[in-house]
Chains A and B, each alone.
Chain A
Amino acid sequence: MSDMMNSLSNMRLLEDLARKETFIHRVHPLIKLLTTVIYLAVVVSFGRYEIAGLLPLFFYPVLVLVLAELPIGPILKRILLVEPLIIGIGILNPLFDHQVIVLAGLTMSRGWITFLSIFLKGGLTVAAGLLLIATTGMDGVASAMRMLKIPRLFVLQLLLTYRYISVLMEEVTRTLRAYSLRAPQQKGIQRRVWGSLTGQLLLRTLERAERVYQAMCLRGFTGEYHAGYNSRVRAIDLIYLAGWAVFFLAARIYNIPMLIGSIITGVIK
Chain B
Amino acid sequence: MSHHLTEVKDLHFIYPDGHKAVNGISFCIHHGESVGIIGANGAGKSTLLMLLMGIFFPCAGEVRVGDVEITKKTLPLIRQKLGMVFQDPDDQLFMTTVYDDVAFGPRNYKLDEKEVERRVVQALEMVGILHLKDRAPFKLSGGEKRAAAIAAVLSMQPDILVMDEPTASLDPKSRRRVMKMLQGFEHTKIITSHDLDMVFELCTRTIVIKDGKITADGPTSEILVNAELMDACGLEVPLALQNCPVCGMKKLDRHSPFN
User: Which residues of A line the B interface, CB within 8 A?
Assistant: 12, 15-16, 18-19, 137-139, 163, 208, 211-212, 214-222, 224, 226-228, 230-231
Contacts and interface: CB of A to CB of B under 8 A. Distances in A.
Contacts of A215: 86, 91-92, 94
Contact of A212 (B91, B107, B108): B91
Contacts of A216: 94, 104
Given A15-B136, A216-B104, A219-B152, 19 more contacts: A12-B136, A19-B96, A19-B134, A137-B96, A138-B96, A139-B100, A212-B91, A215-B94, A219-B105, A219-B153, A220-B76, A220-B105, A220-B108, A220-B109, A222-B108, A226-B107, A228-B107, A228-B116, A230-B113
Interface string B48-63: 0000010100000000
Contacts of B107: 226-228
A227 B88 CA distance: 23
Nearest to A229: B113
Given A226-B107, A227-B100, A219 B156 contact: yes
A224 to B, nearest CB: 8
Nearest to A166: B138
30 contacts: A12-B136, A15-B96, A18-B96, A19-B96, A19-B136, A139-B96, A163-B94, A208-B91, A211-B86, A211-B91, A212-B92, A212-B94, A214-B91, A215-B92, A215-B94, A217-B79, A219-B79, A219-B104, A219-B105, A219-B152, A220-B76, A220-B79, A220-B108, A220-B156, A221-B104, A226-B108, A226-B110, A228-B100, A228-B107, A230-B113
A228 B103 contact: yes
Contacts, number: 69
Contacts of A18: 96
A16 B136 contact: yes
Contacts of A219: 79, 104-105, 108, 152-153, 156
A211 B88 contact: yes
B95 interface: yes
B105 A214 contact: no
Contacts of B96: 15, 18-19, 137-139
Interface residues of B, number: 31
Lowest 10 A-B CB distances belong to which pairs?
A220-B108, A219-B105, A226-B107, A211-B91, A215-B92, A15-B96, A214-B55, A220-B109, A218-B84, A215-B91
B124 to A, nearest CB: 15
A70 B136 CA distance: 18
B242 interface: no
Contacts of B103: 228
Nearest to B99: A228
B122 interface: no
A19 B100 CA distance: 12
Interface string B71-89: 0000010011001101010
B83 to A, nearest CB: 8
B97 interface: yes
Nearest to B112: A230
A19 B105 CA distance: 21
Contact of B55 (A138, A217, A221, A228): A217
